[in-house]
Amino acid sequence: MKKTNKLVLCILIIALITLSSITAYAAMCSHGWEYWEVMDVDYDYEYIDSGVCYATITTYVECKICGTTGELMSYGINSHEWVREDLGHIPGTNMHRFNNTCNNCGYSFITEDFCSIPH
């Protein structure tokens, strides 16, 4: 599916950004980035437009050797992760109403789709 591929690509881009940030951060510690362990990852999403949302990813890391902790920030553009809620058939029409909410940024909108199934 086209949509899935796009999402995977976005995740890949984020992963690359994260990796390069870790490399940059490791310069502050005498130990290489391979000693840095990811303790926690926070995702924060913001709505940009009807196509994408903006992700701010905070990765909490700790050096396994010296115990130094740090926060790495990375950013990425993500496709919305739509969750479709069935709002029911519109009486007297052949249209069906759905509420679409993004799982990430919380943006939602209502769509009316052609529906051939009689209710």
Nearest Cα neighbor of 74 from 8, 6, 22, 9 is 22
Per CB under 5 A, 74 contacts Zn ion = no
Give the chain's length: 119
Nearest Cα neighbor of 43 from 92, 109, 104 is 104
Per CB under 5 A, 102 contacts Zn ion = yes
Per CB under 5 A, 65 contacts Zn ion = yes
Q: Which segment (3-11, 17-25, 69-77, 100-108) binds Zn ion by CB under 5 A?
A: 100-108
Per CB under 5 A, 53 contacts Zn ion = yes
Note whether 45 and 55 are within 8 A (CB).
Answer: yes
Residues interacting with Zn ion, by CB under 5 A?
A: 29, 31, 53, 63, 65-66, 80, 89, 96, 102, 104-105, 115
